[in-house]
């Protein structure tokens, strides 16, 4: 069972459909109790960091997520919430990855928010990136971005570089929307499910 957290994002339904197309058994989760016995957990998000964190705290998910044994994948805002904090609404986030999410800076020829397709530049070989072509592109919609740190396994550039895919241990994230990124997005989700299965079998 894949636990898909309802954090108030409009992309919840499309993420569920994308997972079910891959044969996953998906359950919508709205509180910490729903995480029990999950094969993996996915935290999607669209909206503002402070608002999303208030919802997670109200539902006890802010303490439950850091205690997970199962792999966790954050998508878009969900990935940003994995970090220590966000400039957006001055949010204190989950603290699962070090760093502060900051606003993208507009400049000549660079529009914010960043909306559209962008190339993924792999920085490390990783199970989440298996099978992706060197010129793989994904679909982004965001005005804030996470820094390129040791957890960043693929970056993208919009004005400057930012983290596009992250992983540290079982904590994973994509700044882009895999559910809107065609075959590249489907491959990332399939790789995450395979990664979760491999960890479970090794346990």
- Taking only the tens of pLDDT, the chain with its 203 residues reads 999 999 876 678 999 999 999 999 999 999 999 998 999 999 998 889 999 999 999 999 999 999 999 999 999 999 999 999 999 999 999 999 999 999 998 888 899 999 999 999 999 999 999 999 999 999 999 999 999 999 999 999 999 999 999 999 999 999 999 999 999 999 999 999 999 999 888 87
Q: Is 73 within 8 Å of 41 (Cβ atoms)?
A: yes
Kindly list the domain boundaries of the chain, sorted by start residue. 2-202
What's the fold here for domain 2-202? Answer: Rossmann fold (3.40.50)
Helix residue ranges, H only, 22-106: 49-58, 61-64, 77-80
What whole-number distance in Å separates Cα of residue 55 and Cα of residue 142? 20
Task: Indicate the pTM of the whole model.
Answer: 0.96
Residue 5, classified by CB atoms within 10 Å of its CB into exposed (0-12), middle (13-18) or buried (19+), is buried
Residues taking part in catalysis: 76, 177, 179
Q: Is 32 within 8 Å of 63 (Cβ atoms)?
A: yes
What whole-number distance in Å separates Cα of residue 92 and Cα of residue 86? 7
């Amino acid at each position: 069972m894949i636990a898909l957290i309802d954090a108030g994002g409009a992309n919840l339904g499309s993420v569920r459909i994308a997972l079910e197309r891959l044969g996953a058994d998906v359950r919508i989760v709205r509180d910490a109790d729903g995480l029990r016995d999950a094969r993996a957990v996915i935290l999607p998000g669209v909206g503002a960091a402070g608002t999303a964190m208030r919802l997670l705290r109200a539902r006890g998910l802010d303490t439950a997520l850091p205690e997970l044994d199962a792999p966790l994948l954050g998508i878009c805002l969900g990935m940003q919430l994995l970090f220590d904090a966000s400039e957006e609404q001055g949010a204190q986030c989950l603290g699962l990855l070090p760093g502060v999410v900051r606003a993208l800076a507009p400049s000549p020829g660079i529009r914010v928010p960043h909306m559209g397709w962008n190339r993924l530049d792999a920085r490390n070989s990783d199970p989440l990136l298996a099978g992706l072509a060197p010129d793989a592109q994904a679909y982004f919609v965001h005005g804030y971005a996470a820094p390129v740190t040791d957890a960043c396994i693929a970056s993208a550039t919009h004005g400057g570089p930012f983290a596009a895919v992250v992983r540290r241990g079982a904590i994973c994230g994509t700044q882009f929307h895999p559910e809107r990124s065609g075959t590249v997005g489907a491959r990332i989700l399939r790789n995450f499910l395979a990664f979760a299965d491999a960890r479970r079998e090794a346990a």
